Amino acid sequence: MTEVALHPSARETATRWWRDAVIYQVYVRSFADGNGDGVGDLLGVRGRLRYLADLGVDAIWLTPFYPSPMADFGYDVADHRDVDPIFGSLADARALIDDAHRHGLKIIVDVVPNHTSDAHPWFLAALAAGPGAPERERYIFRDGRGAAGELPPNDWESIFGGPAWTRVADGQWYLHLFAPQQPDLDWEHPEVHEEFADVLRFWLDLGVDGFRIDVAHGMVKAPGLPDVGHAGQVRMIGADVVPYFDQDGVHEIHRAWRRILDSYDGERIGVAEAWAPTPERLARYVRPDELHQAFNFHFLTTPWDAAGFRTVIDESLRTAGLVGAPSTWVLSNHDVKRHVTRYGGGELGLRRARAAALLMLALPGSAYIYQGEELGLPEVLDLPEEYLRDPQRLRDPGSGRDGCRVPLPWTATGEPPYGFAPPGIHESWLPVPAEWRDLSVEAQLGKETSMLGLYRSALEIRRAHPDLGDGRLGWLDSPPGTLAFSRGGSFACLVNMTHDWVEIDAAPGEPLLASDGPAVHGDQVRLPPDSATWWNIGR
């Protein structure tokens, strides 16, 4: 058995809530519509807190609900200290934070520091002020190349496709790594630092337990904004080395933010949405004086293959362990194709997604659940053309994120959107497929064998089991195409990632939970294809 070593400080901090928290991502727009306009809102989230508490998660992360023209569905923020009317009011946000705490749930909110909306007062002032004015210095305005400045200042590409620069009426260009409606801020400017420090304090004062930091690797650009030198640069989840991502200077910002977080009681946390070329580079975001967690996109992007998963698990534990941070595990989010579909779709995808859930929740560290994965929702691949509005798809057809953002089905009766909106409302901003009635919360609740039943059981066991959550992992010998590991001497997880039944000579202990029931004959165990099983083992 090989043990994965932990940094000594990990043990000292083993009781900290965030080290093994299960955090549920609420994509507010698509979670629950409280006011009947077809768009999810804070009222809707408040009404479903009981569901989330009963599911057994520790915290919820809310995607941006701030005033925004919604060019990137809220990741284009026009005012960082308020709530967009489509999502409710500041009073709703306060009530939600308080209610969540009463339900024993922590609240993490998004902060978007790499860019603002083009409707942000700073950007409007920058446009109005003209070239050379101090108002322009909070963003990245430059003259163009070419005889008349008609070419972009460099060859950087937007993540959503096309050049990362847009020219304004007076001839200058501004940088936007995402949509043109999302101008990049210039983090060389002290006012940008002061503003975001104040924004963090604003929400911390309202009681939030932490922040998910959007594009946490993007704020600092290489000096001189050098060309990349080739086309086809990064995509939404990419690992390339480029002069606009993962520059060493971003870490100073995270250190300053950590000091702010630490100045509040109750262990408020920062979670990096950072794409780094290697797990080592990613671990730099979670050094002891920086952020608490970083999303593990290397895990998310690993194809269904035991050797690949073993490598990514080892690398993640090793690199996070080196800096004393917990690893995180994530299978889906609002930017990627849902994993039921990525793993093959249909029954195969569902079977693998069930196994992946048990694998993820058995690993040491903190896990993220994207709303609807606990229902086994697939990606919706046939949304009617007129509904598709994701800016990524508009600029780069075929790559849209609408299909993972379809509203959740809650009830098993009536018509779509199945309880997403109040009774009598049949419209939702993206249509809910008719067949999702059978995947609704109501259809699955109380059925142990459903996906929801599996998540609830797994989370209940994880919470109660002394060896799950934070701690060590020890690999056990197992046949090719499978993974087997123990946690702390009293728990084991076996995963069969092959298409075939796999026989194991001796049962490791008593079966606790299975994604697809292991057949046990005396001492002989047969693991079904694409399945995972949890075991209680003798100490």
Which positions lie near ligand NOJ, rule CB under 6 A? 72, 75, 112, 178, 214-215, 273, 334-335
In the complex with ligand NOJ, the residue whose CB is nearer, 74 or 471, is: 74
Q: Give one DSSP letter per residue of 432-487, joined into a string.
A: PPGGGGGGSHHHHTT-TTSHHHHHHHHHHHHHH-TTSSSS--EE----TTEEEEEE
Shortest distance, position 9 Cβ to ligand NOJ, whole Å: 30
- Give the position of tokens 């990606």: 379
Shortest distance, position 178 Cβ to ligand NOJ, whole Å: 4
155 is catalytic: no
In the complex with ligand NOJ, the residue whose CB is nearer, 373 or 467, is: 373
In the complex with ligand NOJ, the residue whose CB is nearer, 111 or 493, is: 111
In the complex with ligand NOJ, the residue whose CB is nearer, 214 or 516, is: 214
Residue nearest to ligand NOJ (CB): 75
How would you classify the pairing of strands 173-175 and 293-294?
Answer: unpaired
Tell me how far apart the alpha carbons of residues 116 and 65 are, in angstroms, rounded to a whole number: 14
Tell me how far apart the alpha carbons of residues 120 and 175 are, in angstroms, rounded to a whole number: 15
Shortest distance, position 414 Cβ to ligand NOJ, whole Å: 31
Neighbours of 259 (CB within 10 A): 11
Shortest distance, position 106 Cβ to ligand NOJ, whole Å: 20
In the complex with ligand NOJ, the residue whose CB is nearer, 26 or 494, is: 26
Catalytic annotation, pick one of 273, 315, 470, 530 = 273
Catalytic annotation, pick one of 157, 214, 390, 516 = 214
214 is catalytic: yes
Burial 33-63 (b: 16+ CB within 10 A, else e): bbbebbbbbbbbbbbbbebbbebbbbbbbbb
Tell me how far apart the alpha carbons of residues 182 and 138 are, in angstroms, rounded to a whole number: 13
* Cβ neighbours for 252, distance < 8 A, ≥ 6 positions apart: none
In the complex with ligand NOJ, the residue whose CB is nearer, 114 or 450, is: 114
How would you classify the pairing of strands 474-475 and 2-3?
Answer: antiparallel
- Asked whether 444 and 452 are in contact (CB, 8 A), the reply is yes
Tell me how far apart the alpha carbons of residues 72 and 68 are, in angstroms, rounded to a whole number: 9
Tell me how far apart the alpha carbons of residues 334 and 263 are, in angstroms, rounded to a whole number: 31
In the complex with ligand NOJ, the residue whose CB is nearer, 72 or 470, is: 72
> What CA–CA distances, in Å, run from 514 to 44, 77, 83, 180, 356?
33, 43, 42, 48, 11
> How many Cα atoms are found within 13 Å in the side-chain-facing hemisphere of 383?
24
Q: Return the active site residues.
A: 214, 273
